[in-house]
Structure 1
Amino acid sequence: MFGARLKDIRLSRKLKLKELAALTGIDVTLISRFERGDRMPTKNQLLLLSEQLGVSLAELKKEWLADKVVALLQYEPMAMEALQVAESRVEYLTSKKVHDAPQLSDELQAKLDRADDLRKRWRQAQPLGPSQLRRLHEFFDIEYTFESNRIEGNTLTLQETALVVNEGLTIGGKSMREHLEVINHSEAIGFVRDLVLGKEDLSRRVVMEIHRLILKEVDNENAGRHRKVPVRISGSDTELPQPYLLEKLMEDYFEYYELHSKRLHPIILSAEMHERLVSIHPFVDGNGRTSRLVMNLILMSRGYTRANIKGDTQSRLAYYRALQQVQKNANPDPFYHLVADEVIRSLEQHLELV
């Protein structure tokens, strides 16, 4: 146990409780509770203890994390089964293998080549006149907001979504939350477009701000903040990381992006960053919408039009199944194909309208 280990180390250093308290600045009563197992230190307190006791942070943290897992699962009858499921998911999210560049099939490479050819044609169609560009943005923004929210269960129709965004109307029989989801998503799209115009890259600040916009006035307490509670995906048996793992997983997330942002094909990179964020599930709500906006930030900043995954039942199921292939079987290929298909469809639609 962490508390027993902490006490053993302190006694081996011939330190009294009050002496360790003076060295760390942690209240003596609190340290006593750590040692009895009545209280767990914060990450910052753990660091202070490791420094003043002359023991590696990794050694203390291993015991600290083990106690957290035990506290969570000790009374669960299916604890061992849950640990086995979680082990494979955490291994996928943290292993060195997931930092390697993926191998692409010939079929997928052909789709990427097709998308690149369409992107070239789209860029040759520029510059569009201001009014034409504005109309294109309005058309695709509304459709994207409608579909992305529909995936998450929003019941506003495409026409109703347009009325809420463009006219500020209130739709009878629809909840305030559904109206706010539409308004917020529309604002988040505008934020992403401003990032593209300003050439601002993906970062922790960007992800948190996108999420803040998604949940603004819907859940201000959790908007732009990592979750502090365990969550489950409705209708899925996928085990999600516990809150105490999120900080490290998000560090790995941005490390992966730094490593591969110029090495992977943009479509593959956008799919990876989408899937990884959904799988980490760092937020109480809004993970899907935030992940899809991150995907499109990557695509748009590299000259593609945004991919708009549909929210009808068949498309939504295909989307969830493709994500589960990565999460359960470490097979990203179906998800790569899904994103590539959506990018191609989007580019073809943009070219047709031009």
Structure 2
Amino acid sequence: MNYNTQNIQTIDKLKSELDQLIPFSEENQKKLQKKVRLEFNYNSNHLEGNTLTYGQTQLLLFFDKSSGDVPVSDIEEMKAHDVALSQIVEMAKDNERPLSELFIKELNKTILVKPFWKDAISPNGTPTRKKIEIGQYKTSPNSVQLKNGEIHEYASPEETPALIRDLLNWYQEKNDVLHPVQLAAEFHYKFVCIHPFDDGNGRVSRLLMNYILLKHNYPIVIIKSEDKETYLTALQKADTGDLVSLIEYVEEQAIASLKLNIKAGKGEDIDELGDIEKQIEILKREKLTQTKIFNTPKVSYDLINHIDNDLWSPLNKLLNKFSDFFAETSNEIHIDHFKYRKTKTVNNSIMGAARMFADKEVEIKPYEIFGKDLEEEEINNITWAKKMLSLKSATKKKDYKISCSLDLKESGYELKILESNANGDGIMKNKTILFEIENEYKSYFMNEIIEGIQKGISKHLISIIQTDK
């Protein structure tokens, strides 16, 4: 039966309008194909964690070039997915070849490229490593842990082959019964429930959903990566028996796709606002990556805040976990080698003057940080430090200090994470550089670098505490 949703009438009306515009002019067809190719590949892979940006995807698909520091596996994955997209387009045109297990396995083999190892959880809950075979059904359970901690079970390896065959039989039975959009949506959900492969199930399910749409002369639907939460929520509702929510979600994407195709057929502009914003980002990368940024009050202010909030604060929070190993710990900040004192004594006369002028306009200093107005004073160095005094496990007094030193130069900055120690005399010496980097002002630290610093320093302190006596 067809699901009684409010969208079907709209879909049928738009489909009729689109059919009247076919065939498109060659120019309009090319523009549409280019957009769909880019959007579908980018979004379907991005939903699964691929790190290529929109611009990098565009450069890869249309010019076969890569830019930036991205994993080779992500590049291979994107190119392979593009091949799989071509496969479903051609397969949909072939009336002699029905949808089969072989083709489904071919799609999985195409998108995964080659066997690989990935982290996994064993049946007894312990971390392990698992070899991912491509184009083959799973041989061990691939259940996942949800955000709420519950385990979501998919079909067992033993059940999988029979369930896929049942799904293909269901598809043949419902092919002329269900509305094509509803047929594609329900097939997508049933496939996800089986989760037949060790990896690539989400991408294969969306490819198969679009194969069914293409087979019925409907355009490809694109589930946007920024809509991931809504998409996953619809799938989760289906798990509770509310399949209509997922059907309606896919119908909404089909409506958007039909409208896009109609605009393309009429020769109208098919760039969405999001596309324009993405193009601006691409342009920034192309045109601004070679420019040099020099130090200004705003540049210094933004960088200092970035280091303070995104690097030092989480690092200091981590260092606090080691406080129990020391008799005393404290934090310091030095600006151009002078200690910054956050609190100041305010006498009564000053307070009185403050109250006198309380109703008057207060001067706002947009670039004031650590008591310095960067529009009036230049800062050359800021050093954040964590002192850890008297290691409890040592037989002699041992003090340690972890510091983060930022040097602000004319066209770039230098940052060092250092460790120094004192053996009873209170004088910190034997400085060791744990991390060092020189960067231009346009380049900030990425999360993975910050996490790497935290892990490195943690291991270093653990080693000190384990071996120092």
TM-score between both structures, scaled by the size of structure 1: 0.66
SS at match of 1:227: coil
Aligned residue type for 2:198: V
Matched, 1:143 2:27: no
Matched, 1:333 2:229: no
Structure with the bigger RCO (C-alpha within 8 Å, sep 6+) is 1
Partner of 2:279: none
Q: How does 1:280-319 map to 2 (within 5 A)?
A: 280-312=194-226, 315-319=227-231
Partner of 1:194: 90
Partner of 2:160: 246
Verify the 8 A CA contact 1:209 1:224 in the aligned structure 2: yes
Verify the 8 A CA contact 2:80 2:110 in the aligned structure 1: yes
Verify the 8 A CA contact 1:180 1:217 in the aligned structure 2: no
Matched, 1:322 2:234: yes
Q: How does 1:106-255 map to 2 (within 5 A)?
A: 108=5, 110-199=6-95, 200-217=97-114, 219=116, 222-233=133-144, 235=146, 237-255=151-169
What is the aligned length? Answer: 247
Verify the 8 A CA contact 2:115 2:132 in the aligned structure 1: no
Correspondence for 1:353 among 264, 273, 281:
264
Correspondence for 2:176 among 256, 262, 267:
262
SS at match of 2:138: coil
**Percent of aligned positions that are identical:** 27
Higher strand residue share: 2
Q: Segments of 4+ in structure 1 off by > 6 A?
A: none
Aligned residue type for 2:162: K
**Rg bigger for which structure?**
2
CA positional deviation for 1:130? 3.3
| Cα distance change, pair 286–266 in 1 and its aligned pair in 2 (3 A) | same
Verify the 8 A CA contact 2:222 2:257 in the aligned structure 1: yes
Aligned residue type for 2:194: I
Verify the 8 A CA contact 2:28 2:264 in the aligned structure 1: no
- Structure 2 CA distance, aligned partners of 1:311 and 1:340? 17
Verify the 8 A CA contact 2:132 2:199 in the aligned structure 1: no
- Structure 2 CA distance, aligned partners of 1:162 and 1:136? 14
CA positional deviation for 1:234? 5.3
Partner of 1:16: none
Higher mean C-alpha displacement, 214-223 vs 171-180: 214-223
- Structure 2 CA distance, aligned partners of 1:253 and 1:167? 39
Aligned residue type for 1:322: A
CA positional deviation for 1:198? 2.2
TM-score between both structures, scaled by the size of structure 2: 0.51
- Structure 1 CA distance, aligned partners of 2:140 and 2:163? 16
